[in-house]
Amino acid sequence: MPRYRWIVSLTSTVLALLAIEALIRLTGVDKQLMLRDLFFQGADLPVHRVSADPFLHYELKPSSRYDGTFPGKPPYSVRIDEHGARFPTHAGTKPPGTFRILGFGGSTLYGGAVNDDDTIPAALERRLNARGGSLRFEVWNFGTSAYTLGQATHLGRTKLKQLDPDLVLVQHHNRGRRGFLMPEDRRPESYPIELFLADPHLYTEQFTAPSFVSPEIHLAAMRDCALYRSVIFALRLPPPMGRPEYGEALSAAEARSLNQEASARHLPVVYFAIPADRGSLGPQSIFPELPAENYIDLFRPDRDPDFYEVHPLAATLDQFAAILIEELAAKSVIPITPAL
């Protein structure tokens, strides 16, 4: 009799767990819990779209436009060209006598709350061409709001194969886990679950395993068990629902791959940190073995407060471009003479 009761009890427990599992899958409770702690990028939504590349999560939307406003700043306009880069636009095939720079990064490079002609890439192009000479400069703006280093360099790997650049420039600032694109209705719960699942790094990057569960079991359970997922999401384990170090490792791997692929093409890649980071980063924040000559820090002390904003005014972005030009010339990666 005791053995019979044990079997009945075990069977009842298994059936109850299966019923709970089925109910969670049916109601989508696990997805709702998950969405509380993912980061969704919601700036300038009409010029962004979900990406077919599961690593990127989202990207600039080709041939789109947005007229926006931001508190405390003048109205601004954004245009994205057919190649998925912010204006000024350029032909896909590089014209003769052209030095082409591709720029990648987050919202500072993209130009948060400023017009197309006021972004860092636009200012770089304008300043370089104002120097005169027979060589023409193009600076493409693939900066994308909230991109981490990993997303920026992953996109860079794609574009350097398509656009025949002479220099790749990467702005570094956003660190940790990658974000997702806020749905147009601004309801995270309407984000298609299949797009989450297409990213093989989703569960490892975004959700911390309990100390008593091995990473392998945690990953398998997160993939296959809605009840386990719900428990993990409900616990909201520290650090806040994620592994920033895993996101950093992904970024380092993508940056390293970009450098390797660019090196095979004899193409320089230069990373730069914005003044908002106050000089706290360095080449090792990209990947440990990055040479110092491939890194620029725009931090300068004793400037006005706007100089240290993540999204500064147009005049400050123009200052950033001027500093970049002198630094790039000093590193001999652009064909101009450094200022004395």
What gap in Å lies between CA 276 and CA 295, rounded to an integer?
A: 16
What gap in Å lies between CA 313 and CA 302, rounded to an integer?
A: 17
SS (H, E, C) 250-265: HHHHHHHHHHHHHHHC
Asked if omega into 238 is within 30° of 0 (cis), the reply is no
Cβ–Cβ < 8 Å for 155, 60: no
Concatenate the DSSP letters of all residues of 58-124 into one string. EEE-TTEEEEEEETTEEEEEEEE-TTS-BSSP--SSPPTTEEEEEEE-SHHHHTTTS-GGGSHHHHH
Going by DSSP bridges, is the β-strand pair 295-297/269-273 parallel, antiparallel, or unpaired?
parallel
- Domain 41-178+245-330: CATH class, spelled out: alpha beta
Q: What is the pLDDT of residues 88-123, one digit of tens each?
A: 999 999 999 999 999 999 999 999 999 999 999 999
pTM above 0.75, yes or no: yes
**What does each C-alpha distance from 275 to 13, 70, 219, 316 come to in angstroms?**
58, 21, 38, 11
> Token pair 């009840």 is at which residue?
227
Cβ–Cβ < 8 Å for 81, 89: yes
> Token pair 């000024």 is at which residue?
88
pLDDT in tens, the chain (340 residues): 566 777 877 788 888 888 888 988 888 888 888 888 889 999 999 999 999 999 999 999 999 999 999 988 899 999 999 999 999 999 999 999 999 999 999 999 999 999 999 999 999 999 999 998 889 999 999 999 999 999 999 999 999 989 999 999 999 999 999 999 999 999 998 888 788 888 999 988 988 888 888 989 998 998 899 999 888 888 776 555 567 889 999 999 999 999 999 999 999 999 999 999 999 999 999 999 999 999 999 999 999 999 999 999 999 999 999 999 999 999 999 998 766 4
